[in-house]
Chains A and B, each alone.
Chain A
């Protein structure tokens, strides 16, 4: 007997995936496809993915920015591609693996945002999300980024000089240091919820510079990378970039800049002061106790056989900052 065909599942109009959702998903898959197997097995990702969870996520939206290119800060070194800059990050608030931030930070909310500049200043300032992009005119600079783990990247940042913003607040003459603080929001940052995810660090993350370092023209507050607003894994909406210091000094997702007369209790120094100092200047002559800092692996394009190890330069090649440290023993003040 022939039975009429009856589908086991009957789909109605409202079951059809909306086109925008569909496209968004394609975009997500395309972007995450880049880490693809990497997501499965890279970094601490276990061979068989024991501790990873790969939920479906929607990609954070970045917007193009208007800026001028600052020709004083360019380099002939090949740039690290956007896909690598945005998928290989140390941002323990979102997990300790290099690809944890891109996987765990996509639903991060940057609006509303408040950045306050206070402490020993004449005019405390509070910037909201839109003011981050409009208070100081934006420029693009290409900087080398040297991580304390002995790898490096070359990255086009969009932003403005930290000194421009500080000048608006008018630091008092008693201000000797500038302290920076990352957002503390355990609801959004799994690393702050669980000590295990966050590597056992005490949050919020704190970084600091001397006032002279902060006023140096190289010190940049970045709100974008590759001409677009920062994705959360790179420190959206606003982060510090100090190119002559190890990467951990370049604090992400800043909510507070405070001028003080005391050295700020910086996060990594508090965790392991014999390994990470307050200054953390890139220095090929002072090794990390557990590995050499004399050379670094540059992350660009190319597979296993196209890797290069290059000598690390003093102050990451930014010799113009040397005068900030005249008379200071950089072996002791690492």
Chain B
């Protein structure tokens, strides 16, 4: 262990390429596998509920992993970890949109009047949709070229990932019949991440969100 961390671990482009390939394979392969089983009625008694839960939980897990990367990259002697944050964040959005599409097409069976009703009347759905829209904005602004153009505003926008995590957890807790279930662990995980980012987050103030351009 000592020798391993004696000096910072630098990842060569080949290393990074390989890790990203593995992330792609797992993220896409998992979707394919779950969906294949769902289509063939091999996802338990209710394939719709299974797909809804799987996509939602995986989106949340990936969101937490992407958020854990920043504090880890600071503390571990491998700052290059940060290079994988964007990809994992984008996959969190990918699973979240899959979750939404599953809900609309398989749970609500594309009944538009029902979709409109649920999307406007149900607080836990509204909260989830807001979180999804934040993730959408973050994904759209993730390319390097856009990031450069946005200057300081990019970081301001991307701090919204923390409200998105909060709304996602609220959506999860709210969707269950009783509160004392798995989300409790996720709230604890989110608190840990907040604590680890305390230094950065407490530096934020109203001014940081002034959006006065560059």
Give A contacts to B, CB under 8 Å.
Answer: 34-39, 41-48, 50-51, 83-85, 87-88, 92, 96, 98-99, 149, 151, 195-196, 198-201, 271-272, 290-292, 294-295, 297, 299, 301-309
Contact = CB atoms under 8 A, between A and B. Distances in A.
Interface in B32-71: 33-35, 37-51, 53-54, 57-58, 61
A43 B124 CA distance: 18
B18 interface: no
Contacts of A198: 180
Interface in B135-180: 174-180
**Binding site secondary structure of chain B:** helix
A180 B176 CA distance: 25
A78 to B, nearest CB: 14
Given A271-B178, A304-B38, 12 more contacts: A37-B33, A41-B54, A47-B61, A84-B46, A98-B46, A199-B180, A200-B179, A301-B41, A303-B41, A304-B39, A309-B109, A309-B111
A201 B178 CA distance: 8
Nearest to A45: B53
A47 B124 CA distance: 22
B214 to A, nearest CB: 40
Interface of B: 30, 33-35, 37-51, 53-54, 57-58, 61, 106-109, 111, 114, 117-118, 122-124, 174-182, 184-185
Nearest to A44: B182
Contacts of B53: 41-45
23 contacts: A35-B44, A35-B45, A37-B42, A41-B43, A41-B50, A42-B46, A43-B44, A43-B53, A47-B58, A84-B45, A84-B46, A87-B45, A92-B178, A98-B46, A99-B44, A290-B122, A290-B174, A294-B114, A297-B46, A297-B48, A303-B43, A304-B106, A307-B48
A299 B39 CA distance: 14
A38 B178 contact: no
A43 B61 CA distance: 15
A30 B61 CA distance: 31
Contacts of B42: 36-38, 303
Contacts of A96: 176, 178, 181
A299 B177 contact: no
Contact of B61 (A46, A272, A303, A309): A46
Contact of A303 (B38, B49, B54, B124): B38
A321 to B, nearest CB: 25
Nearest to A304: B38
B180 A200 contact: yes
B54 A42 contact: yes
A43 B37 CA distance: 15
Contacts of A302: 41
A57 B94 CA distance: 37
A196 B47 contact: no
Q: Which 7 residue pairs across A and B have the least CB separation, nearest first?
A: A38-B44, A200-B180, A88-B45, A84-B45, A199-B178, A42-B50, A309-B109
B40 A98 contact: no
B112 to A, nearest CB: 12
